[in-house]
Homo-oligomer: A and B are copies of this chain.
Amino acid sequence: MKLSKLAEKTFSTIEKGDADLQIESAAGLDIAERGEVTFLANPKYTPQIRETKASAIFLNENVSLEREDIAVLRAKDAYLAYTRALRLFFPEPEIVFSIHKTAVIDETAKIAEAVEIQANVVIGKNCEIAENVKIFPNVTIYDGVKIGANTTIHSGVSIRENCEIGANCIIHNNSTIGSDGFGYAKDEEKRWLKIPQVGRVVLEDDVEIGANTAIDCASVGETRIKRGAKIDNLVQIGHSCTVEEDTLICSQTGLAGSSVIGKRVILAGQVGIAGHLKVGDDVVITAKSATSHDVENGKIISGVPAFDNRDWLRSIAAFRRLGEMTKTIRELEKRLIELEKSK
């Protein structure tokens, strides 16, 4: 692809370099080769610019380049422009319309003609699979599941009874959609009586679910992951939760039951959200934090339990010196006693 075409497709402008320069791929600063385009977004990697073999680079405004042998594509957001370049160079592989002979599909299931269903996939009663769906091997789809167009289900995934998966979704390997919520009532003999979990999970369009993640169905009603939300690997979503549009949930985060996570929220890695609470829109909860209270829109919070991030930064700075602080207080007390005596 010519540099001029690349610029056009990535909404960037050629600031330096030959419009006819041939660019064949895209890669990070450290591994890009001649003929490839790279990017700089995180200033931490600026020193790598001296070493990179890339032939072109996406740069944010206000970032200068001291090398003469690299074409510069100026972008409002270099990371976004690079993402678009990657998407040009690495388009999704085409679907090969086919149903493998070892797939076990119940005769009541409605399968669109243009699908790819690979080996050993099992599809239950009354399922509906839309066009351009691709299902990798050893996937199990229980009865009554609906899967929207252009969705990809990777190997080892289980989708339980009556769940609904939207269009353009991706579910990565070995994840579980719709397993029973963790609900028990204590009976008169202090034993746990299972609360039936007969609800379902709904993933709306454009949702991506990582590998080895578990999303529980509601006891009655539904657990819902809304349009454009992205969920990483090894995440736990408890029963009856709602995750609103465009929210990111990073790896190993867990949501207990019945909580609502607002729009465009970012839950970093290993975060914990207690049950029955509301996290507002645009909230950021930093890694390893947890909250058992509602969180207002737009807050950035940290800690266990989490509070305002700036206050937390002050608290953790003091925490490092807490041993010393104990000593200081003890000393102050001694000096105070001296003064009191001498009064």
Q: Mark A286-317, 1 if CB is under 8 A from B, else 0.
A: 01101010000000000111010001001111
A216 contact set on B, CB distance < 8 A: 211, 233
Would you call B191 and A173 a contact (CB within 8 A)?
Answer: no
Is A280's CB within 8 Å of the partner chain B?
no
A246 contact set on B, CB distance < 8 A: 190-192
A323 contact set on B, CB distance < 8 A: 311, 314-315, 317-318
Stretch in A12-20, A62-70, A75-83, A109-117 touching the partner: A75-83
CB distance from A104 to the nearest CB of B (A): 4
Q: Mark A106-143, 1 if CB is under 8 A from B, else 0.
A: 00000000000011101000000000000011111010
A26 to B187 Cα, complex, angstroms: 19
Would you call B180 and A158 a contact (CB within 8 A)?
Answer: no
CB nearest neighbor in B for A324 = B314
CB distance from A222 to the nearest CB of B (A): 9
CB nearest neighbor in B for A290 = B288
One complex includes copies of this chain to the number of: 3
A100 contact set on B, CB distance < 8 A: 104
A274 contact set on B, CB distance < 8 A: 269, 287
Would you call A269 and B272 a contact (CB within 8 A)?
Answer: yes
CB distance from A304 to the nearest CB of B (A): 5
Is A174's CB within 8 Å of the partner chain B?
yes
CB distance from A103 to the nearest CB of B (A): 9
Contact of A234 among B80, B156, B210, B214 (CB under 8 A): B214
A206 to B213 Cα, complex, angstroms: 25
User: Can you name 16 extra interface pairs (CB under 8 A) apart from A270-B290, A318-B322?
Assistant: A28-B240, A77-B186, A89-B196, A172-B176, A179-B210, A180-B210, A182-B251, A192-B248, A212-B212, A251-B254, A256-B287, A307-B320, A314-B326, A318-B325, A319-B322, A325-B325
Please list 7 pairs of residues, one from A and one from B, whose beta carbons are closer than 8 Å in the complex, sorted by A's number.
A28-B220, A83-B195, A86-B219, A140-B173, A176-B212, A252-B252, A332-B336
Residues of chain A having any CB pair with chain B under 8 Å: 25-28, 31, 42, 44, 77, 79-80, 82-84, 86-87, 89-90, 100, 102, 104, 118-120, 122, 136-140, 142, 154-156, 158, 160, 170, 172-176, 179-180, 182, 184-187, 190-196, 198, 206, 208, 210-214, 216, 219-221, 228, 230, 232-234, 236, 238, 240, 246, 248, 250-252, 254, 256, 264, 269-270, 272, 274, 276, 287-288, 290, 292, 303-305, 307, 311, 314-326, 328-329, 332-333, 335-336, 339-340, 342-343
